[in-house]
Every structure is written in C-alpha cells, then in structure tokens.
Chain A
C-alpha cells in the first residue's frame, strides 16, 4: 500500500472561499511533510512544509496542520483565487537530507469565479 494518500480526488470552491485539502499518511516514522502544487504541464511546486515536532505552520495564505495522533495532514488556503486551481499533493519522508519523497495521489482543486 501507499504511504501517503488524500481523502478526496477533487474539490470545487468559489473564489474567495477558504479551501481545505486533506491527506492521511500511514508511516508513523515519517518526520517531514510537504505540500506541492502542480499546474497542468508543469513540475510540482513547493508550497509549505512541516516537521513532526510541530502541529501547525503558516505561510502566505496557506496553513498546514499536522495531527500525528491520527496521522493526518491538511492544507488550508485562505481566500482561494482562480490561480490556485491545480493538483495538490502531499508528500513525506524521514526528514533526512537526500531521501526520497513519497507522494500521495493528489487532489484537484477547481476555483470558479
């Protein structure tokens, strides 16, 4: 089975709404979690990361929450914009430099104006 996965394959929101994208992971040894955004025809773009010694981290319009008890990760996007439309992947690894990222299947976020 896969180490990291997402609850919903698609999410549709209205411009200005807040979006929440969820991810469940199964590897308790994972120490480092990352959210990537992938636009059509492009490579994954780093959004935000979090280490297992934290439960929340904020960036510009984005917040990542980590619940280690239930092995759940979420990405919150405030005031979602049409430019946020993309596929969002969570990924994890063991927080050692140079190690493989294990990606989940991705959630397609569609923002309508």
Chain B
C-alpha cells in the first residue's frame, strides 16, 4: 500500500540554525501539506501546496518557513532560523482530493 515517507525521523539542531525536513508524498497525489504537533497537543496545520504554489497557510507559517517541491517526488519544509518553540513533530500529508494521508513524522528538537 502506498504511503507518505519522511526523513529524517529525528533532527536535533541548535537555535538559529536552518533545517530542512523532507517528505515523499504518495505518487499520484496532487495536494501536499505540512502539519506540526507539539508534544501532548493537537495537530496544527501549517501549509498546503498545490500546482507548485502555496494554496493555504496558517498564522504559524511565518517568514521563517518555506516549502518547496524541488523535483517530481520530494516535498520539503525549511525553517530558516530555528527557535526553541519550533521543537515539535512535523507531519507531511498528501491527498488526491479529500482524504489526507500522513507520514510518520520528523521529531525536531531545537536546543
């Protein structure tokens, strides 16, 4: 069964450093998403992406965040200058239309 994959599974970085989280969505899906989940809290939407551009973003997704689809298979989330409060699980998701399927997540720890 096709699934969303994410790398790395765990990323530790120092405050102020740039990180890139990577995702490979399900191959025939057209919509891609990033969500985050701070430990013990609910999942929060960050951004959606369609046809090589951002279609929707939340107030969390400020100028420090960017997304890119550098090739036909990868979808990345970049955080330019990480802050302590960026520590969270980051989930990539993809959908054909409505059903969003989530990857296993990347645990980002900012020290």
Contact = CB atoms under 8 A, between A and B. Distances in A.
Q: Which of A2, A36, A101 has the largest number of chain B CB atoms within 10 A?
A: A101
Given A98-B31, A98-B50, A46 B100 contact: yes
B63 interface: no
A95 interface: yes
Interface string A21-47: 000000000001010100000111110
A2 B41 CA distance: 13
Interface in B90-111: 91, 93, 95, 97-105
B74 interface: no
Contacts of A45: 102
B9 to A, nearest CB: 9
B68 interface: no
A51 to B, nearest CB: 9
Contacts of B105: 42-43
Given A43-B91, A44-B91, A101 B100 contact: yes
B48 A98 contact: yes
Q: Which of B33, B35, B102 has the largest number of chain A CB atoms within 10 A?
A: B102
Q: Which 7 A-B pairs have the closest CB atoms?
A: A43-B102, A100-B45, A98-B31, A97-B97, A103-B43, A103-B42, A44-B102
Interface of B: 4, 30-31, 33, 35, 41-45, 48, 50, 55-56, 58, 91, 93, 95, 97-105
22 contacts: A34-B99, A34-B100, A43-B93, A43-B104, A46-B100, A46-B101, A89-B42, A95-B98, A98-B30, A98-B31, A98-B55, A98-B95, A100-B45, A100-B48, A100-B58, A101-B43, A101-B45, A102-B45, A103-B42, A105-B41, A105-B42, A106-B42
Interface of A: 2, 32, 34, 36, 42-46, 49, 89, 91, 95, 97-106
Given A101-B45, A103-B42, A104-B42, 8 more contacts: A36-B102, A46-B101, A89-B43, A98-B56, A100-B33, A101-B43, A103-B43, A105-B42
